[in-house]
């Protein structure tokens, strides 16, 4: 797959315990991105954060949280990300979604011997 130099970065901020049909929402999002043929996806787990309800989620030992912040990052063309977003947005009940331009330096897989 080849990506243009000017791509886009989609970030989906959700909670670790958010679910879609019994599956963790971040897992469902990554598998759906793969099914739709997006260039790639990465899930990042935050150690602390808060969102629209201002409730702080933290990984501190004295206050273990089962709902830490999760960021799903996806990079591809704007068109493909907009199509993906239109298909998954109804499944995201809480969170934040951002879309921004990204300068793609390279996109390549490791070479096989």
CATH code: domain of residue 50: 3.30.70.120
- Helix, strand, or coil here: 97? strand
Q: Is residue 64 in a domain?
A: yes
- Give the structural domain span for 28: 6-103
Q: For residue 111, tell me if it sits in a domain.
A: no
User: Residue 29: helix, strand or coil by DSSP?
Assistant: helix
Q: Is residue 96 part of a domain?
A: yes
Residue 5: CB atoms within 10 A of its CB come to: 9
Residue 83 pLDDT greater than 60, yes or no = yes
Q: Is residue 44 part of a domain?
A: yes
Task: Kindly report, residue by residue over 20-53, the tens digit of the pLDDT.
Answer: 999 999 999 999 999 999 999 999 998 888 777 7
Any domain includes 109? no
Number of domains making up the chain: 1
With beta carbons less than 8 A apart as the criterion, state whether 30 and 71 touch. Answer: no
Least confident of 5-9, 42-46, 52-56, 98-102: 52-56
Q: Is residue 112 part of a domain?
A: no
Per-residue pLDDT, 111: 72
CA atoms of 7 and 77, how far apart (whole Å): 5
Report pTM: 0.85
* Residue 17: inside a domain: yes
Please report whether residue 113 resides in a domain.
no
Distance CA 84, CA 113 (A): 34
Residue 80 has pLDDT above 60, yes or no: yes
Q: Helices 25-35 and 78-88 meet at what angle, rounded to 10? A: 130
CA distance 89 to 10: 12
pLDDT for the residue 63: 55
């Amino acid at each position: 797959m080849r990506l243009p130099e000017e791509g886009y970065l989609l970030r989906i901020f959700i909670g670790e315990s958010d679910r879609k049909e019994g599956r963790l929402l971040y897992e469902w999002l990554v598998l759906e991105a793969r099914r739709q043929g997006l260039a790639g996806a990465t899930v990042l787990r935050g150690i602390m954060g808060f969102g629209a309800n201002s409730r702080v989620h933290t990984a501190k030992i004295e206050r273990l949280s089962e709902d830490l912040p999760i960021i799903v990052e996806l990079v591809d063309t704007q068109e493909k990300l907009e199509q993906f977003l239109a298909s998954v947005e109804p499944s995201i009940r809480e969170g934040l979604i951002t879309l921004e331009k990204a300068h793609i330096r390279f996109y390549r897989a490791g070479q096989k011997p």
